[in-house]
Structure 1
Amino acid sequence: MKNKLERYEFNKNSSFIIQDGKPLFSKTKGRWSIIFKNNNPIHLELGCGNGEYTISNSKNYPNCNFIGIDIKGSRLWKGAKYLEKNNVKNALFLRIQIENILDFFDENEVKEIIISFPDPRPKKRDIKKRLTNVKFLDLYHKIILNGGKLMLKTDDKDLFDYSIDQIKDSKFKLLNYSDNVYSSQEFEYIKDVKTKYEKKFLDQGKTIKFYECLK
């Protein structure tokens, strides 16, 4: 209980987490260049968990701004602690439900979105809650700028096949995909970061699927 309360207090006071109850929470839309104090491209990680992908890319690409999005404060705590300890200038976390993303980003404000190992939601009643469902794709399409990309990494074949079909029903153009990204000579840029879950899946002998789409 003590650790839970400490995490709650940290998240409430941390400048690296934007969440309900903080002054910036309702003032981000169209203002990310002011928040980051630069006009660098914005990259989002949806369902970011501890923010491993967001943190690694903030180090690898210092001229881009990275925002990890998740609703679970207990997950964001770890990533935000790292950002604070290392005084990272080009990364933040946003604690929201992803279906509300249009309240926090303007049209054409984001360069890239990656959905990294999302919950596959295998139950039939939950399929429409998948982050790659076309209703979510329509939201992403609005905030991604022309020429920007949407990407997915997953180990789940059913989710991947479903997601490819959903892209065909969306406004995005499917650029490229792989059923086994690590057996491909392409996609070197997406192999730079391996999250805890990805390493676990690879250790289990699972293949990693990937697609990239263009607006």
Structure 2
Amino acid sequence: MKKQIFVTATNTDIGKTYTTKLLLKEYASRGLRVGVMKPIETGVVDGFCPDGEELLSLVKELNIEFKDIYVKDIVPIQYELPAAPFVASKNTPLDIKKIDNAIQKLGKLCDILIIEGAGGLYVPIDEKIMMIDLIAYLDASTLLVTHCSLGCINDTLLSKQALENKNIKYVVAFNNRDSNDSFSAVSQPYFKEIGFNVMKVSKNIDTICDVLYNL
């Protein structure tokens, strides 16, 4: 494995899985063997991981070497309660070896591994570790997915600052949903004024992939 990219977001339900799937398709179209994992998923009922199953189904289409991989391989830590891992696990200390072992196994099957986080940067995993700490531990190039609705300026800048405070290499991409038709008038003028490069997930995925790969 040559490259790890961590997909995080400014909050939950921003579009991490959607974005992860676009990254997988784009990198695969370039001839790279793609891989994917979601280290921690909550809301898992009877062993069914909604995000994990969706990601596994796609990666098996894109990389034949994942044919014998199961959802437990790409989602090594699973909790039933749909809440922050700290709450869902009842503050069980993070077993980082499970994540390390999964990465080692999957890394042998791909040139680039896309790692999807859970929630935002400051989602607590246990009493001491936040999601941003896991990103720093993995030393992965990071894609921060942000939204385009009212409040995105605050949310984007706060998350951007948090990544910079941890010296994490990152790219920001805006998930411009159909319902966000006010973005160009309400929020984008500010980003334009400060010289912020607004890249949109669906429109600029090729550029996003280029920048991430070279971080």
Q: What TM bracket, shorter-length normalisation? A: 0.3 to 0.5
Q: Which has the higher contact order (CA 8 A, sep 6+)?
A: 2
Q: TM-score, normalised by structure 1?
A: 0.39
TM-score (norm 2): 0.39
